[in-house]
Amino acid sequence: MNKLLKYFFVLSFFPSALWAEPEETIQPVSEMNFIQIMMPLLMVIALIFMIAWLVKRFNPKLSTMGMSKEIEILSSTQLSTQSKLSLIRVGGKDLLIGITPQSISLLKEYDEPVVKEQPEKEQVALADQFRSLLKKKPE
């Protein structure tokens, strides 16, 4: 009786099951198919990381392009994994600050510049940097 109810249930909701042709058996993914799928994916991911590394390596000021010129980070050093010491310039004054995950503390305020301004190298466009990299011939 249970079998009959089960078949009745299937046939009442899926009447096409009566005249449906047997489906082709689906072959499991072989190791070769898996490798053929994963290799291009891994190559694209590696290419993305490589381009990001190149951009960061050859254009370090890229991350500070949107920052205000009124506040400059002159120098910074890591004291431990979660704390650092930074020398910043705000409004012509140099400030020595300590930075921890819980707070930022002013340690010393200098009226005169501690670090003399270094002339900035001319910012080269990113496209020009890649063009110069491509023109270089390996020796």
Paired residues of 7 in beta bridges: none
Q: Which two tokens stand for residue 88?
A: 């910043």
DSSP 8-class letter at 113: -
Say which amino acid occupies 17: A
Please report the pLDDT score of residue 44 as a whole number. Answer: 94
Please report the pLDDT score of residue 122 as a whole number. Answer: 55
What's this model's pTM, rounded to 2 decimal places?
0.40
In 41-112, the DSSP E strands lie at: 71-78, 84-90, 93-99, 104-110
Asked if 84 contacts 77 with a C-beta cutoff of 8 angstroms, the reply is: yes
End-to-end CA distance of the chain: 83
The residue written with tokens 């990381």 in the block is: 49
Mean pLDDT for back-to-back runs of 10 residues, the chain (139 residues):
62 57 65 81 94 80 60 88 91 89 92 70 66 68
Paired residues of 71 in beta bridges: 90
Q: How far apart are CA 40 and CA 33, in angstroms?
A: 12
Please report the pLDDT score of residue 100 as a whole number. Answer: 92
The residue written with tokens 């400059």 in the block is: 72
